[in-house]
Amino acid sequence: MSFLDETMRWSLERAGILKRLMEGGIGDTASLRDALKTVGGPSLIVEYKRCSPSAGVISLRSPEEYIGATLPYTAAYSVLTEPRWFCGSPELIPVFARHRPVLAKDFIVDKVQLEAYSRLGASAVLLIARMLGGNLERLCRDARNLGLEVLVEAHNLDEALKAYYTCPGAMLGVNSRDLTSLKVDFDGMINVVRGIRRELGDRVMIVAESGVDSPERAVKALDAGADALLIGTAAMRSPGLLRGIWAAYGSPP
């Protein structure tokens, strides 16, 4: 297939996505939470992220190539929709949602973003507690009213506990990257996961985010009490990492 043929195919697919969006939406979606609970191995949210503020260009793998390389190990996909820093697009959501539940990952500040991601077929959205402050409760409520599950992201234990009580029943994401400095503190994240589990027990689903770049770190995060891992940069650069993580549990697909 020539480049022009491939461009035509992708453009027709995008046009179809936009048409369905204008007509009211893509359709029903699967539950991200349920998908994370029913995996026959480590629960991995695998992220499609072509670039980032800290890493620059990460990988230009096409969505189809990435899905082909990661699908057997993936419970759900995280899809970057933010265009300026992460080279993302909302139109990527339905491409991945055909295969697994999708977490729409953006700097969400307004209900209109939630409405768009719901119509495009996202199962869940990321809400960043530190950025939203007093708006977290409202956006959490808006997301649920649209049928979206919520992953609230925190960086430290105080943020996480406050977010849990502000948005009861939400999944809690613990980001090892401090978004104010962009520095990663993996061991600090492990301590926060342990603290949440100690304070809240099994009442909450915990997702460890960022810094999981080896099977050893994956095992450490899950053993600390994380229910699932969100893996982005490391998987984009080397999808074979996912098989290594499954192999660490003796259950590669």
For each successive 10 residues of the chain (253 residues), what is the average pLDDT?
83 81 74 91 96 93 96 97 94 95 97 93 96 96 96 96 95 92 93 97 95 95 96 96 92 72
Residue 226 is assigned to a structural domain of this protein: yes
Tokens at residue 246, please? Answer: 């499954």
Quick one: pLDDT at residue 26? 67
Look up the domain containing 112 and give its range: 30-248
Domain membership flag for residue 242:
yes
Domain-embedded: residue 11: no
In-domain check, residue 240? yes
Note whether residue 122 is domain-resident: yes
Q: Is residue 21 part of a domain?
A: no
CATH assignment at residue 140: 3.20.20.70
Phi, psi of 44 (to 5 degrees): -120, 125
Residue 136 lies inside a defined structural domain of this protein: yes
Please give the tally of structural domains in the chain. 1
Which pLDDT belongs to residue 27?
Answer: 66
Domain assignment of residue 23, yes or no: no
Q: How high is the pLDDT of residue 97?
A: 95
pLDDT of residue 17: 79
Q: What is the pTM of this model?
A: 0.92
